[in-house]
Amino acid sequence: MNAMLAAALAIISQGGRVLICEPGGKAPLTRFLPNGVLSATDNPELASRWWRHEPNGNVAMATGHPWRDVLDIDVKPGGTGWPAFHRLRAAGLLPEPLVFVGTPSGGGHAHYVGTDQACGSLKRHFIDWKSSGGYVLTPPSVVDGRPYTLISERPEARAQLNWSSVRQFLDPPKPVRAAPHRASVGTGIDHLAAFLAGKTKPGRNQALFWAACRASENGASEVELHELYRAMQFGDGFDERQAARTVADAFRTTTRRTA
């Protein structure tokens, strides 16, 4: 029997779905698979017809539940996924795979029990994830004259791989920056600050004192009161230091009044 067909039928017999791809390539043959991976089959008669018409077609398997997920370690001119793979192993994030396949480029495919996780890619780390809706080539497929080869097989290994944990470990989320301080709701700081921004000489200091007293009476803290003069027009003896003193005086006045 044709070796490619034999491999395809073995996958089907174990519960997987197969695709026939271009000889020497990775793309599904659209004359047999008009919808790509969605046309993958678990029908041995249909698979036999495919390889009867194209005996050298490469073998691929659809990934995800109920078959297998695959962690794809890439090797490309710009870099390799092996450092990321070894970091993941050292961190205890990679369970023992069911199957490990060597790829023609020098990379690898680690097979795990299939899930409904989405496919993903960490291009900066040269790592891909093939699960629901994906597919990978399998032995004895050949690309660029080099075959996919079975490195190890452990049928007793039944672990699943959590792609989200892999992604967060290799590309942790950026820390959230604290939002700029905003005055407490209900203190009137925003409206009073807008009123003060339009004040010109004379009377700016007196207006600031009045506004600071009102905001303080509404529950604003002393720190929040300093937001009142951020947009005020300074000059002619009225500067930011004077404004800060005025706000502090207003706060002391209102707190004595309510004590």
Whether residue 60 is predicted with pLDDT greater than 80 in this model: the reply is yes
Angle at 134 between CA 130 and CA 138, to 5 degrees: 75
β-sheet with 68-73: strand ranges across: 120-122, 127-130, 68-73, 108-113, 99-102, 149-153
Which pLDDT belongs to residue 192? Answer: 87
Give residue-wise pLDDT tens across range 108-140.
Answer: 999 999 999 999 999 999 999 999 999 999 999
Which pLDDT belongs to residue 183? Answer: 46
Q: What is the mean pLDDT of residues 215-223?
A: 86
Q: Which residue is associated with the tokens 């967060």?
A: 168
Q: What is the mean pLDDT of residues 197-204?
A: 79
Give residue-wise pLDDT tens across range 13-37.
Answer: 999 999 999 999 999 999 999 999 9
When mean pLDDT is compared over 102-106, 154-158, 211-215, the highest value belongs to 102-106
Whether residue 182 is predicted with pLDDT greater than 60 in this model: the reply is no
Q: Is 121 exposed, middle or buried (0-12, 13-18, 19+ CB in 10 A)?
A: middle
- Is 0.75 topped by the overall pTM? no
Q: What is the mean pLDDT of residues 220-247?
A: 84
Residue 62, strand partner residues: 135
| Domain locations along the chain | 3-170, 189-252
User: Mean pLDDT for the chain?
Assistant: 91
Q: What is the mean pLDDT of residues 183-201?
A: 74
Whether residue 189 is predicted with pLDDT greater than 90 in this model: the reply is no
> What is the percentage of the chain residues whose pLDDT exceeds 90?
66
Q: Domain spanning 3-170: which CATH class is it, in words?
A: alpha beta
